Amino acid sequence: MDFLPAELATYAEAHTSPEPELLQRLNRNTRAQVMAPRMLSGHLQGRLLSMIAHMIRPRRVLEIGTYTGYSALCLAEGLTDDGLLITLEQNEELEEFARSYWQQSPLGAKIDLRIGVAADVIPTLTDTFDLVFIDADKRNNQLYYELIIDKLRPGGFILADNVLWSGKVIAPVKPNDLDTQTVRAFNQLIQDDPRVENVLLPIRDGITLIRKR
């Protein structure tokens, strides 16, 4: 995920608003206690999520892929007073860890965790969303996108994470590398979809910002 030289990445974080203290602890303890900590949004990306949420001021947010709850707290920072963030996670073993941090924040009351397979849960949701963050298994990105596009209000936004896939999207793809193939196919789907406008931001592992027309 590290495309910038380490010195430039450190400089960028040093000139980005700091993580709130709770998020610092969640960041640190995720890296110390949970497998695959590279899945954590982290300081720079987390502040980007918060900034976008503040810009949009969403009433309803859907997050696909909770992990340890860091990005949910970041996105919840921009919710309206009556806002709600629904976050979907398949790994029930992460629930207690995430909730333990949400309970330490006043934003925790605005986070609704649903444990289950996202492809099964999304069709049951009746809300119209202002903002959706897709950050789960990459092989199902296209499925999630098609499931949520009609639940997104016109003018609403989708954020899709890991769209550069550690730089593999521009490297020769091996026939058995299904993850890279599906990330590239997803990126092309978004680029060709007349229903949306999009910009791919080369931040961390790449985030595509998508606006529904």
With left for phi above 0 and alpha for psi between -120 and 50, is residue 15 left, alpha or beta? alpha
Residue 1: the pLDDT is: 64
As for how many domains the chain has, the answer is 1
Residue 73: the pLDDT is: 98
Q: Is residue 191 part of a domain?
A: yes
155-209, pLDDT tens digit by residue? 999 999 999 999 999 999 888 999 999 999 999 999 999 999 999 999 989 999 9
Residue 36: the pLDDT is: 87
Residue 4 pLDDT more than 80? no
Residue of 109 and 6 predicted with greater confidence: 109
Q: How far apart are the first and last CA of the chain?
A: 30
| Structure token pair of residue 3 | 């495309």
Q: Is residue 1 part of a domain?
A: no
89-148, pLDDT tens digit by residue? 999 999 999 999 999 999 999 999 999 999 999 999 999 999 999 999 999 999 999 999
Q: Is residue 35 part of a domain?
A: yes
State the CATH number of the domain containing residue 160: 3.40.50.150
Q: Is residue 113 part of a domain?
A: yes
Residue 17: the pLDDT is: 98
Residue 35: the pLDDT is: 85
Residue 37: the pLDDT is: 86
Q: Per-residue pLDDT averaged across 19-37, rounded?
A: 95
Q: Is residue 126 part of a domain?
A: yes
Q: Which domain holds residue 182?
A: 6-212
Residue 27: the pLDDT is: 96
Task: Place 70 in a pLDDT band, splitting at 50, 70 and 90.
Answer: very high
